[in-house]
Amino acid sequence: MAAQAGVSISTVSKALNDIDVVTPTTKQRVLEAAKKLNYVPNMMGKQLKSGQTKIIGFYTRSIEAPYFSSIADVIAREVGSKGYSLNIFISTDKPLVMNNILGSMVDGIIGFEELLTEEDLKILQDNNIFAVFIDRNIKSKTMGSVVFNSFQAGFQVSEYLIKQGHKRIGFLKSFAGVYDSDERLRGYNAALNKAGIPINPQFVLDGNFSETDTIAVISSYLNSKQELPSAFVAGNDLSAIGAIKAFKRFGYRVPEDISVTGFDNISVLEYFTPGLTTYESPIELQGKTAVAHLIDLIEGRTQGRVFELDGEIVIRNSTRSLK
């Protein structure tokens, strides 16, 4: 390349590394020579010199659900716009995930869900791993998180149903320990308590944030011939979709016979009937905030903090007033 451009090897190095001691004309000759020779920079060598890989790891159990795929897309676009690359790692094998995080060449990670325990997080912290977690409330010197105000969301959706005249309100939760589910359930309980409505434990079912699991649990409940709530607050939109499908199979009409709400306002709802009343979460803002905070951690501009994002109710046709 030096011969092609008619300059020294050191001048080529300075031009390619954008060191400001080379004249614009000389730099242009070097870049044209590099293009003719199909030169590809040795990124590994640059990484070793800088101590950074410019790669961010994204770890999750699955991106099958619309919410996960949506936020993964936001993260990928945002990482690229900041000059980083994204490695997506999908696994439910915790030892494999830990080994990959501790042994891979990434500058930091974005983590999803509850796969890693507090002990695992301590190991990451002891190894100075920069991390931002989504939907999990974590804060340390090297770790932060971006969460929705799920307590407020659960409270507002439940209060909306109460104001519509509903008093027998059920809740479809996920697994214990899932931050969003726990907080939404806590908000549901608070709204019922505020209104003086007794909380009926038999109205709280395990939908597990899953359409198929919710169909199964609602079907089982209907077969048991127990008292039916007039409304269900589903823990997310997929669970709400599963509930509505199950009710329809048993001959119940939504919202004429029972009202159903969800959370997230996922994109597939535009194709679903009836239109689902849901709580819209700012998914794009969540992904952008996670990337920005992680890069600030990596580049030493901040310490870990928790970002809590608010949403809003979107009223559609899956709920009705009993007044």
- Specify if 318 maps to a domain: no
- CATH number at 31 reads 1.10.260.40
pLDDT of the residue at 103: 81
All residues at 6 or more sequence positions from 89 whose CB lies less than 8 Å from its CB, including other chains: 57, 58, 59, 60, 97, 100
* Rounded-to-integer distance, Cα 313 and Cα 266, Å: 13
Say what the pLDDT of residue 290 is. Answer: 98
Bridge pairing between strands 169-173 and 143-148: unpaired
**Among 96-105, 178-187, 206-215, where is mean pLDDT lowest?**
96-105
160 in any annotated domain? yes
Helix (H) or strand (E) holding 153: helix 150-163
- Do both 92 and 132 map to the same domain? yes
**In a shared domain, residues 181 and 251:** yes
Residues 104 and 250 in one domain: no
In a domain, 295, yes or no: yes
Are residues 167 and 136 part of one domain? no
pLDDT in the model for residue 94: 85
pLDDT at position 38 over 90: no
pLDDT of 204 higher than 80? yes
Contacts of 34 (CB under 8 A, 6+ apart): 1, 16
Q: Is residue 123 part of a domain?
A: yes
Domain count for the chain: 3
What residues does 55 pair with on adjacent strands?
A: 85
C-alpha span between 257 and 231 (Å, rounded):
9
Q: What is the pLDDT of residue 43?
A: 44
Question: What are the structure tokens assigned to 252, written together?
Answer: 């119940």
Q: What is the pLDDT of residue 240?
A: 99
Q: Is residue 320 part of a domain?
A: no
Element (H, E) at 121: helix 118-126
Q: Is residue 80 domain-shared with residue 193, that is, in the same domain?
A: no
Shared-domain flag, residues 66 and 16: no
Nearest partner of 28 among 56, 6, 46, judged by Cα: 6
pLDDT digits (tens, 9 = 90+) for 101-113: 888 778 999 998 6
pLDDT band at 214 (very low <50, low <70, confident <90, very high): very high
Residue 136's identity, in one-letter code, is R
Q: Do 288 and 260 share a structural domain?
A: no
For residue range 93-146, what is the model confidence (pLDDT) as tens digits? 888 888 888 887 789 999 986 778 889 999 999 999 999 999 889 999 999 999
Q: Give yes or no: residues 178 and 231 share one domain.
A: yes
User: What value does the mean pLDDT take over residues 170-174?
Assistant: 98
- Do 191 and 126 meet the contact criterion of CB atoms below 8 Å apart? no
Asked whether residue 92 falls in the same domain as residue 192, the answer is no
The stretch 28-53 carries a mean pLDDT of 61
241 and 174 in a common domain: yes
Q: Residue 102 sits in which domain range?
A: 52-148+283-310
Do 175 and 77 reside in the same domain of the chain? no
Asked whether residue 79 is assigned to any structural domain, the reply reads yes
Cα separation of the two ends of the chain? 81
At residue 48, the pLDDT reads 44
The pLDDT of residue 241: 98
| Same-domain check for residues 242 and 300 | no
Q: Are the C-beta atoms of residues 274 and 318 closer than 8 Å to each other?
A: yes
Which CATH number fits the domain that encloses residue 105? 3.40.50.2300
Query: Which is higher by pLDDT, 60 or 290?
Result: 290
Decide if 225 is inside a domain.
yes
Does residue 62 sit in helix, strand or coil? coil
- What number of H helices and E strands is found in the chain? 12, 12
3-class secondary structure per residue, 224-285: CCCCCCCEEEECCHHHHHHHHHHHHHCCCCCCCCCEEEEEECCHHHHHCCCCCEEEECCHHH
Phi, psi of 113 (to 5 degrees): 70, -170
The most confident of the ranges 1-5, 120-124, 156-160 is 156-160
Average pLDDT, the chain: 89
| Structural domain contains residue 47 | no
Q: How many percent of the chain have pLDDT more than 90?
A: 68
Once rounded to an integer, what is the mean pLDDT over residues 78-87? Answer: 95
